[in-house]
Amino acid sequence: MKYISTRGQAEPVGFVDACLAGLAPDGGLYVPETFPSIAPAEPGESYVSVATRILSAMAGDALPEATVAGLCTRAYASFHHSETTPVKRLSDSLSLLELFHGPTVAFKDVAMLFIGQLYDHALTEQGRHLSVTCATSGDTGGAAAAAFAGSQRVALTILHPHERIAPIQRKFMTTTGAGNVQNLALTSDFDACQAIVKGLFADREFVADVGLSGVNSINWARIAAQMTYYAVAQAAVGPNVPIRFVVPSGNMGDALAGYVAARCGMLGGGLDIVCAVNENRALADILDTGVMRRSATVPTHSPAMDITVPSNFERLLFEAADRDADLVRDSYQAFAKTGEAVFPDSLKSRLGCMAISGMSIGNHDTLAEIRRMLDQYDELVCPHTAVGTAAAHARPSPAHTVVLATAHPAKFPEIVKLAAGVDAPLPDYCAHVADGEESFDVTDASLETVRDAVSSLAGVRV
């Protein structure tokens, strides 16, 4: 199994190398040369069994299946539900796919804990160290901190937009006390954090000097690991039952994992994905109009989705363009220069036929949906999940709808309290985070400042 770049100017690499690199050297994203055929999940099959089958297929001969099984077993041992990501049926037509039973009570744990195991295994075998960077709009940073804290092989730098994430989200990443983890609060928005990470990768000499890697949603291991809960959900609802998945979306990595699961034959009910976004509607506009346009980020009640440049769209564009890397590269070069890329009509048509659509939900409707979910279903949801359920209610479907519940409501207690008038306490197993001592530095959104910080931590190596 080899991996190629969406921009066509990087040599094919194996699974482990693609995952350790994060971003391809030509600035593109890694995708498999061909999508493997993978047997669907069976009803009642264990999560580790399904994850092992998927990740072994994605790894090919880069990792023995027994090694993958061990990585998955260790990764998911820290989840606090016997089914790892259970499907909770609320009605005959609506279910929630609960993705928040990991140590940082958000869906990012599913992939990040596997990545932590994969990196430690691969780097130990190779005798290497890496400097991992992570730009976060909220939950990725906490999941990365949990996965890498104390690692002897990884120095982790987390970037988050200062005062634009929930306080408890910040605490999950700033209270580890680990010497190999540093947190930088940048005085800008998430898109600036993400742009700085890409700027670091553009300096190939710097990449080589510090052994730079990234674990944002651009990392293929995250897409591969997240495929598992789509397969498990299909088996739980019914192996061949049509399902409409509604996915609260920012960078589009979660939705992209569903697309790949379908391409690999794991969704017997067919592909139907709605990307539910907040007032930062760039992804919905791209899918609706075929125009990618830069815009200012608007702060919302669902801050982890306050993103206007959905990085994983590049992978979907690559497939819609029949893997025309030149078209993808030209589109992103135009976007970088002018802030806009207009796709040809033929490409717009193909995007429209991929069974992936977008829908935007406003701030007011998000708050109203949190209240509605409590009143109608006795279910307290986080604001991001509420964006998904609001989209599901606004656009009925004959298929059974599964909304991805991306975080525990306790990650956003202030917003939940505002919307529903009730408290949302953290689960007992992570209540200690609220009182933990934080460590983070507020700094300007400067490529040079971040480069210096990454270099400094790389020299410490805990």
Per-residue pLDDT reduced to its tens digit, 334-368: 999 999 999 999 999 999 899 999 999 999 999 99
Q: What angle do CA 346, 26, 443 make, to 5 degrees?
A: 110
Distance in angstroms (rounded) separating the CA atoms of residues 342 and 423? 45
Residue 205 confidence class, pLDDT cut points 50, 70, 90 = very high
The stretch 301-306 carries a mean pLDDT of 92
Q: What is the 3-state secondary structure (H, E, C) of the chain?
A: CEEEECCCCCCCEEHHHHHHHCECCCCCEEEECCCCCCCCCCCCCCHHHHHHHHHHHHHHHHCCHHHHHHHHHHHHCCCCCCCCCCEEECCCCEEEEECCCCCCCECHHHHHHHHHHHHHHHHHHHCCCEEEEEECCCHHHHHHHHHHCCCCCEEEEEEEECCCCCHHHHHHHHCCCCCCEEEEEECCCHHHHHHHHHHHHHCHHHHHHHCEEECCCCCHHHHHHHHHHHHHHHHHHCCCCCEEEEEECCCCHHHHHHHHHHHCCCCCCCCCEEEEECCCCHHHHHHHHCEEECCCCCCCCCHHHCCCCCCCHHHHHHHHCCCCHHHHHHHHHHHHHHCEEECCHHHHHHHHCCCEEEEECCHHHHHHHHHHHHHHHCCCCCHHHHHHHHHHHHCCCCCEEEEEECECHHHCHHHHHHHHCCCCCCCHHHHHHHHCCCCCEEECCCHHHHHHHHHHHHHHCC
Residue 216 confidence class, pLDDT cut points 50, 70, 90 = confident
* 295 has pLDDT over 70: yes
What pLDDT sits at residue 403? 98
Per-residue pLDDT reduced to its tens digit, 68-86: 999 999 999 999 999 999 9
What pLDDT sits at residue 230? 98
| Contact (CB, 8 A) for 191 and 446 | no
* 321 has pLDDT over 60: yes
The stretch 292-298 carries a mean pLDDT of 92
Per-residue pLDDT reduced to its tens digit, 171-201: 999 999 999 999 999 999 988 998 999 899 8
What pLDDT sits at residue 460? 57
Residue 459 confidence class, pLDDT cut points 50, 70, 90 = confident
Residue 270 confidence class, pLDDT cut points 50, 70, 90 = very high
| Contact (CB, 8 A) for 19 and 219 | yes
What pLDDT sits at residue 461? 46
Place of tokens 């789509």: 230
Per-residue pLDDT reduced to its tens digit, 218-263: 899 999 999 999 999 999 999 999 999 999 999 899 999 999 999 9
Distance in angstroms (rounded) separating the CA atoms of residues 417 and 419? 5
Per-residue pLDDT reduced to its tens digit, 384-432: 999 999 999 999 999 999 999 999 999 999 999 999 999 999 999 998 8
User: How far is CA 373 from each of CA 61, 247, 367, rounded to the nearest angstrom?
Assistant: 46, 17, 10
The stretch 266-271 carries a mean pLDDT of 96
The token pair at 43 is 């009803």
Q: What is the pTM of this model?
A: 0.93
Residue 462 confidence class, pLDDT cut points 50, 70, 90 = very low
The stretch 145-172 carries a mean pLDDT of 93
Catalytic machinery residues:
108
Burial class for 343, CB neighbours closer than 10 Å (0-12, 13-18, 19+): buried
The stretch 49-69 carries a mean pLDDT of 98
* 152 has pLDDT over 70: yes
